[in-house]
Structures are given as structure tokens and as C-alpha cells.
Structure 1
């Protein structure tokens, strides 16, 4: 008689509440790197500029400018750098998201899925903002640029982000079991993609032996496909869009299964002995 009855909430209302929580968690992720959100975004842009300058200088010193595509050389370098940064930043953000045993999970609306989604969206926002600012400044100050297929280019940008987030989810699921080892493996993967992404050469001009060393990497396919969308005179012959999509789906399923398994056993006491 006096037992309180639980209020029935519609699925639509639950969905909007979930979106609201994801939004606030994403904002928290954006402000997490610095007390001032604007300064955090500016620092992210400067980091992208430094990586871009590093690769331009590297191409010049190694005499690799002749291997680039016909067209704007800086835009060619940007096509690889932006995809690479989006991939590794999404991977790092998801892998470092709040674990099931963290203090944030003590709040009722919060759960690991929200933590992962918000971390991935924050990384996407930062890299999209950085790429947009750099492209605009280069177009307005240096020289005008033309992108043959902007929609296709943006699609490859999103696919690079999605593949990084999906692989990061696997690291996220394994991290509570061996935090130090998983952290090392995540760092090694991110550093290895400096070379393994294949952004320093054109796939159509590479030998079959060299291509075989990079075919496993979804980022290698998205970078090459993006260059086909950016440059009018380049048509990718040895990469495709289907492989990164399937890689995202497979990694996402493995990561979700691992995360659901880990959530059953994860405990705050695991880290007390460390």
C-alpha cells in the first residue's frame, strides 16, 4: 500500500537524457586538459601545426617531395597528418577514458559507454576544429586550395576517427586487467602509426612488397582514399573503403564484448596494491 511505485519513463525521454549526459561528459573531456577551454583548443591547433611542420621539413630533408602527388604539396602532407592525428587521438582518448571502477562511475547516470562515447566525441571535435582552422588560415593567407570531393574527404576523416576509437575500445576493455602493459601497448601502436599509416608515400607508387606491410592498417586505407578525394588526378588502386569499415565493426564488437566482461569483474580494489 505504502510501497513507492517507480515512475515509468518513455524510451524517447531516456534517449534524450542519455544524449544530455553524453553532451555534458564531452564538455568535461574538452575542458579536462586545461582550465580554459579556449586555451585547450589553441594548444591542440598548435600541436597539429608542429606535426605538420615536422613532416614538411622531413620530406624536404629526405628528398621525398618528388614522391608526392601533383598538386599542392602542403595539402598532400595535411591529408596524411590530419587523418593520422585524428586516428591516434581518438584511440588515446578512448583508451584513457574513465574505467568502470573510477569515481565518476559512482554517479547514477554515468556508465562506461558514456565515458567512451564522450571521450571519442571530444577527440573528434578537437581534431575537426584544428583541421578547419589550419586549412582556413592556409587558404586565406598562403594560397587558395581546392578539394575535389569535400564530402568524400570528410567521410574518410570520420572513418579514420571511428577506426581509432574502435581500436581504442579494445585497449579500454583490457586496461583494468593490466594497466601498465596496456598503456605501453597503446603508446607503441600510436608511435608505430607514424610509419605504419603509410602517409609518407603514395600507395599507387609503392612496390607490392611495401604495400603488403601496410595493408593490415585501416588508417593506411583511409589516408590513401582521402587523397583520391582531395586530388583530381589521383585514383587509388590498391586500397578500398570496405576494409576500414569492416575493421571498425570487428574491433567495435570485440571491444564491446571485452568491456561488458570487464565490467562484471572490475573493482576499485584492483589498483590499491599498485
Structure 2
């Protein structure tokens, strides 16, 4: 009997993993597989954005605030930022994207959330590796990589994106206009998260005010993973993960409460 109970406890987990894998395949087909350039565009979009920023600032300035290469400086901040943006956006849309499948008992909202989360992590990680490898191959960046800081920055960006995405998932499903409001709110984020302007160079008291933005800590953590002499003393890893945990718990609580109502909308 104990053995049967043990097997029984593992069946739902295996079924859930199969469900998540099926949802990921569906997402890959519908989002990236409809056109030949679907996967290529996933790489080109951040690469072109990085190229534009690099060209603009390389014309106006002799060197970036850190190091000697504009491309690696902006990539070290922009790509973790894109990880947050893509994770939050995909998780935010997960209920609406899989609403028809969620009517089946075996498919839960957690499966839908995790499927989009895992696929986004995989794609954005591949994009990051390709772009960073290309830059370091083409240019003498004079950077020494600390993978611990870099991976932690991506983990922080993912956690914050997951928390914000879960919270917005409920808000967008209940009030569609929130998607437009959130889009407007997030537009200045790239300017106030340390991606373009190094956080250390912002005068007080604005520097302390902007430190409440958890993405500032993500970008700072990433930058000290590329520049060994950059201490980034303002980075508070506990605050970033704490922010992610709080938003995720609130979002999960709301999803459990309003999940059935969201499916009927």
C-alpha cells in the first residue's frame, strides 16, 4: 500500500510536466512557427534595438561610462531588461492565450503560467548567448565575465518578471484597459533602470529614489558580471528577490480566487 500511494503521488506531477511540455510546443508553433522568420526575429529584435542605441551614443560620446566598448556596455544592461519585459508580458497573457485549453480538468492555470515562463527563459537565454558571443568575437571588449553575477542578474529579472506578470495577468483579465495603461507606465523603464544612464552617475536624491525600482538592481548586478572593477554597491539582491516574491504571492492569491471568473470573461 505505501508503494501504491507513493506512485499515486507522482502521477499528477508527471501528467503536469507532460501538459506543460504540450503547452510549450503549442506556443512555439503558434508564436514562432507561423512564419519562416519567427525564430530569427526573436534574435533580430533585441539585436537591432541594441544596434540603434550603440550607434546613437557612439556618435555623441568617445567611450561608455564603463569600459571601452559601447555594444557590450549597453548589451549588459539591455538584455537582462528584455528578459524581464518578455517574461512579464508572456506570463501576463497566459490565461487569455490558453483560455480554451483551461476548460479541461488536466490543464491548470499554473501549467499555462509555467509553460510560457519556461519557453521565454529558453528563448531569451539563447538570444543573450548569441548576442554576447557575437559582440565579444567581433570586438575587443576588455571584459572579464563573472558568470555568477550574470546568471544571478538573469534570475532576478526572471523572478521579477514572473511576479509582475502574475499580478498583471489578473488585472488584464478583469480590466482589458490595464494592458494599455501598463504599456504606458513601462515605457520610461529603460531610462530609469540604469540601462542607458549608469545608476552611479545620477545625482542625489534622485539616485536613492530610483533605487526603489528593482530593475536598477538587475542591471547593476549584470554590469558587475562584465566589469570586474565595477562594484555596484547600490545593488540589493534581497530587495529584488523580495519584490519578486511579494508580487508573485499577491498574483497567485488573486489567481486562485478569481481563476474561474477569468475563464468566463
* Same fold (TM > 0.5): yes
Q: Secondary structure at the match of 2:33?
A: coil
- Does structure 1 retain, via aligned residues, the 8 Å contact 2:80–2:219? yes
The whole-number CA distance in structure 1 between the counterparts of 2:19 and 2:102 is 13
Deviations 1:22-68 (A, max 9, x none): 122122222322335873221110001111012112323554x6551
Question: Structure 1 pair 258/112, CA: closer, same or farther in 2 (3 Å)?
Answer: same
Shift of 1:88: 0.6
Deviations 1:169-225 (A, max 9, x none): 10101222111x221123123323122222112222322223134212111111012
* Structure 1 unaligned residues grouped into runs of 5+: 1-6
The whole-number CA distance in structure 2 between the counterparts of 1:134 and 1:67 is 18
2:121 is aligned to 124
Shift of 1:12: 1.7
| Partner of residue 42 from structure 2, selected from 41, 44, 68 | 44
The whole-number CA distance in structure 1 between the counterparts of 2:211 and 2:113 is 27
| Segment drifting more, 162-171 vs 21-30 | 21-30
Runs of 4+ in 1 over 6 A off after TM superposition: none
| Partner of residue 189 from structure 2, selected from 169, 178, 193 | 193
| Partner of residue 243 from structure 2, selected from 218, 241, 247 | 247
The whole-number CA distance in structure 2 between the counterparts of 1:195 and 1:213 is 14
- Does structure 2 retain, via aligned residues, the 8 Å contact 1:84–1:193? no
Q: Secondary structure at the match of 2:230?
A: coil
Does 2:205 match 1:209? yes
The whole-number CA distance in structure 1 between the counterparts of 2:128 and 2:140 is 16
Compute the RMSD of aligned alpha carbons: 2.3
- Does structure 2 retain, via aligned residues, the 8 Å contact 1:156–1:222? yes
> Under a length normalisation based on structure 2, what TM-score does the superposition of the two structures give?
0.89
* Structure 2 unaligned residues grouped into runs of 5+: none
State how many pairs are aligned. Answer: 261
> Under a length normalisation based on structure 1, what TM-score does the superposition of the two structures give?
0.86
